Structure 1
Amino acid sequence: YNCNIGDQVQRTYLQRGLFQLKGHTFKFEKFGNQQRQFFREFGSWLEYRITEESVYCLFCYLFKEDNGVQAGGDTFAGKGFKNWKKKEKLKIHEGCVNSAHNRARQKCERQSKKTQSEYKNRLNVVVDYIQFILNQALAFRGHNDSDGSSNKGNFLELLRFLVDY
C-alpha cells in the first residue's frame, strides 16, 4: 500500500496491530568495522519488515501529512529505516509534541476512537434487537438458518431487515 491509503486499509492495519517479531534474530549490517542490528527501544510505533530488514513508523505510514518537512523525510513512511548506527534518528523522528509523527499518532488515535464508537453503536443496536425479541416472547431461531432458507428466524431476519435501511 502507498502512503495515501484509504480508511478501510487503515482500519485493517490498526486492527491487525504492529508487526513486531518476538524471538527473531535480526540481520546484522556492517558499518565500518562494527556490526549493528535492529533494536527494540521504540517498539510502540515501529513496524519491522523482514523482507527489507528495515523499520517503518506505523503512524506516519498510515496517517502521514503531505504538507512538507518531517524528521527523516519519507524514510519512516516509505523507504524504511535501517541505519542502526544512527538510532538517535528514531528519537528525532518522534520529535516534540507537535511533530509530524505525533500529529500522525493523534490522527491514528482519533481513527481508533471513531471505529470503537461505531462498533459500540452497532453492538447497542444488536442488544436492542435482542431485547425486543425477548420482550415480545419470540423465538430467536427459525426452523432452518441455512443460507438458502427464506426465513432464518426472527433475530436474523430482523437484522437483515434493518440493515437494508
Structure 2
Amino acid sequence: MYRFNSTWYEGSYSRWMEYSVKEDVVFCLCCYLFKNDYVKGNAGDFFTKTGFKAWNHNLERFQLHVGEVNSVHRRCFSKMLDFENQSQSIQVALNKQSEKKIRSEHRTHLEASTNVARFLLKFELSFRGHDESEYSKNKGLFLGLLEWLGKMLPDLNNVILKHAPKNAMMTSSKIQKDIVSACAQETVKAIIDDLDGDFFEMLVDESKDISHHE
C-alpha cells in the first residue's frame, strides 16, 4: 500500500515535513510560514494548503519541492532557521546589552544605598525623616545622604533616586530595613568567624532581675 512512512521524519526532510493524520497529507512547515514573502498568488499550494499525498512519487516530489540552491523552499527554510535562532539576532543582542546595563545600574544604586546605611549604623544615627516627600527640605539622613552623594558624584546621580532605572528607587522603609537586616547578619557572621569556635561571654551593665536587684 502506498501511504505516509514515518521513517521520512528521520531523513533530511524531517526539519520541514509535517504530516496531518486527519487529512492523510504532507505539508511543508517553512513554506507554510514564509512562502508568501517570496511568491504571490496560489502557485505551488500542494505543500502549504491542499497538502501532498502522491505516495507513489513521494521521494521524487519531495526532492523537486526542495529544489535548487536558490529555490523558494530553501529560502523559506533559511528564514525558518533564522526564526528559530532568534537568540542570535541583533535585536536580542541589543536587549541583552540593555539588560546588562540596567543590572549594572541597579548594582551601583544598591551599593550606594548600602554604603549610606552602613555609615548611619556605624554612628548610630536615625534613618527616617518626618517628611520624606520629593520637595521636603528635611527628608531624613538616609535620603539626604543619597542626594548629597548624587550631587558630589554625577555618574552616581544618573542611577539613583528619581533617575533610577525603571523607577526602582530602592528607598522605601521596607528596603531600608532589609539593608539594615543584611548588615546585622553580616556583622554577626563576622563576629562568629572571628571567634572561630571559641568560648565567649557577654557583660551587660546594670541588668536587673525580677526583684529589681542588679
- Calculate the TM-score normalised by the size of structure 2: 0.43
Q: Which runs of 4+ in 1 moved over 6 A?
A: none
Distance 1:79 1:103 in 2: 21
Task: Give the paired residue count.
Answer: 110
More helix by share: 2
Distance 1:123 1:50, change over 3 A: farther
Alignment of 1:2-151 (within 5 A): 34-39=1-6, 40=8, 41=11, 42-64=13-35, 65-67=38-40, 73-87=44-58, 88-112=60-84, 116-117=88-89, 118-137=91-110
**CA offsets 1:46-96 (integer angstroms, 9 cap, x no match):** 1222322222111111111224796xx210111111222211201110011
Distance 1:120 1:48, change over 3 A: farther
Gaps of 5+ in 1: 1-33, 140-153
Instruction: State whether residues 56 and 75 of structure 1, in contact with CA within 8 Å, keep that contact through their aligned partners in structure 2.
Output: yes
Larger Rg computed on CA atoms:
2
Moved more, 78-87 or 91-100: 78-87
Structural RMSD (CA): 3.0
Q: Which has the higher contact order (CA 8 A, sep 6+)?
A: 1
**CA offsets 1:14-46 (integer angstroms, 9 cap, x no match):** xxxxxxxxxxxxxxxxxxxx3422342321111
Give the residue type in structure 1 aligned to 2:71.
S
Secondary structure, in 3 states, of the residue corresponding to 1:133?
A: helix
Gaps of 5+ in 2: 114-160, 169-214
**CA offsets 1:111-145 (integer angstroms, 9 cap, x no match):** 45567422232222112111111122258xxxxxx
Instruction: State whether residues 38 and 84 of structure 1, in contact with CA within 8 Å, keep that contact through their aligned partners in structure 2.
Output: no
